[in-house]
Amino acid sequence: MIACLLGFAGMAQTYKAEAHFDSLDTRHDMSRPLLERFWITSNHTWACFNRGLKEEGMSAAKEELELAEQLGVDTLLSHANLHIGDNFSGSADAALQLKYMYKGLDYARASGSRNRIGIAQKGIAVVYKSLGDLPRALDLLKQAIANVRDPTETNRTCCHLSDCYRLMGQPDSALYYAQRSNTITRPAEDEYGYARSYYMLGAAYAAKGERELAEVHFERAIEVADSFHVTIPLYGALLARGRMKLEGNDVAGAIADGSRGLKVSEQGGDLSGMVESTDLLRNAYKRGGQLDSAYHYFELKSTYEDSLKSTTNLNKLQNMAFEQELKESEDAKTKAEAIATRSHNIQFAIIGLIVITLGIFLLIFSRTALVGARAIKNLSLIALLLFFEFLNLLLHPLLDKITDHSPLLMLLAMVCIAGLLIPLHHRMEHFITNMLVSKNNRVRLEAAKRTIEELEGKG
């Protein structure tokens, strides 16, 4: 067992969590070790999330969870459930997100890994942030930052802390955590985290009114995100810089950033980005006195908002289907476990019945053993209970089907079975007791005869 655990630990060190798109479909190569397939699938799920590939990401997340369940390791189960929760994001299904995020937290606590606990707390906080519950999100993020250990998760957690403080009107705290988020030294190590950190730094400096510093950091975020095709920090930084320029009356700069943000959002199919980009362009053209263009983007924004509502509703339907698939998979697993458990219990009940029955018959037919009626009564009562439990296990699936899962009807059925067994038990007990009385009398008589014969021989 120890050797197995050490081997698993050695394999775990070989793989790591990093967004990597599995274009060669190696995650479905059954010749690879199960743990390797898990990490390939997990990293593919993450890459799909970064690229905005929702449908493929959800499919990969489901496969990741199935592999984690086969491995049965708490840290991996936590990892997979958090990825499931991530793939419900942006779809107004906060309840589903939180369901799997809290599952991830439960597995993380079971594993005892502080880093994994912090990652789960951060994931839950992001959901509350999206719902506008910033104080609760902030509280969870503070717990998370005390637990996370690796640079990637420190980066993500500090970015969200900075964002929360900025949205709550506390730019100094926003800048402090934006600076702490700068844990990725090279873009190649984590392009999303690197770009996101510079985006948060730019946003924090902009909130403090330090536009030159904000411009430098926005430019770096845009450059890296564009080079690595990371859409979320790219359009986020473009829009944030565009709003800052508009506040500084740089209408042309705001229009340039808004137009590019709209193009990036359209390429990535991000309707939220399209809505925000058209809103920035509408305000910029209005500020510049170009009312026709402002009205055009106002209408375009309304169109995108309608599409966003329709897409949100469609996402809800897709999420319901995805949730149903997960539920069916979980139900099938639970059913298989229940069948296996019932089979084992039936086998144990049969073994118990055989042992006790053999014991009773050995006592009955033994030539020397003297057994009291009380001992037989106790043994027969144990046998009755075992037999009743055996029938319960055997008949439960059939009764469940016949009674349509009605607890009351199933209880009445088992009471009827018990009502038939108890009189039978009394008759068997009476029969066995009579046999034992006869046997005991015979044993005592034989013993008395031997004693008399011995005494007569001595006399």
pLDDT score, position 458: 65
DSSP 200: H
Q: Which residues contact 177 (CB under 8 A, 6 or more apart)?
A: 158, 159, 161, 162, 165, 200
Please state the CATH superfamily assignment of the domain spanning residues 8-149 in this structure. Tetratricopeptide repeat domain (1.25.40.10)
Q: Are 231 and 274 in contact (CB under 8 A)?
A: no
Q: What angle do CA 428, 430, 434 make, to 5 degrees?
A: 115
d(CA 71, CA 306): 44
d(CA 61, CA 84): 6
Nearest to 49 by CA among 197, 216, 230: 230
DSSP codes, 299-335: HHHHHHHHHHHHHHHHHHHHHHHHHHHHHHHHHHHHH
Half-sphere exposure of 12 (CA within 13 A, CB side): 11
pLDDT score, position 449: 73
Q: At residue 310, what are phi and psi to the nearest 5 degrees? A: -65, -40
d(CA 334, CA 330): 6
d(CA 147, CA 114): 5
Q: What is the mean pLDDT of each run of 10 residues along the chain (459 residues)?
A: 41 64 89 92 84 78 89 92 79 76 94 94 92 94 95 95 96 97 90 95 96 96 92 93 96 96 88 93 95 95 88 65 70 74 70 62 52 61 66 68 73 76 68 65 70 69
Query: What is the number of other CB atoms lying within 10 angstroms of the CB of residue 139?
Result: 15
Sign of CA dihedral 391, 392, 396, 398: positive
pTM: 0.67
- Domain locations along the chain: 8-149, 347-458
Q: Are 308 and 289 in contact (CB under 8 A)?
A: no
pLDDT score, position 451: 75
pLDDT score, position 19: 76
What is the C-alpha radius of gyration for the chain, rounded to an integer number of angstroms?
A: 35
Q: Are 162 and 125 in contact (CB under 8 A)?
A: no
Nearest to 182 by CA among 198, 170, 171: 198
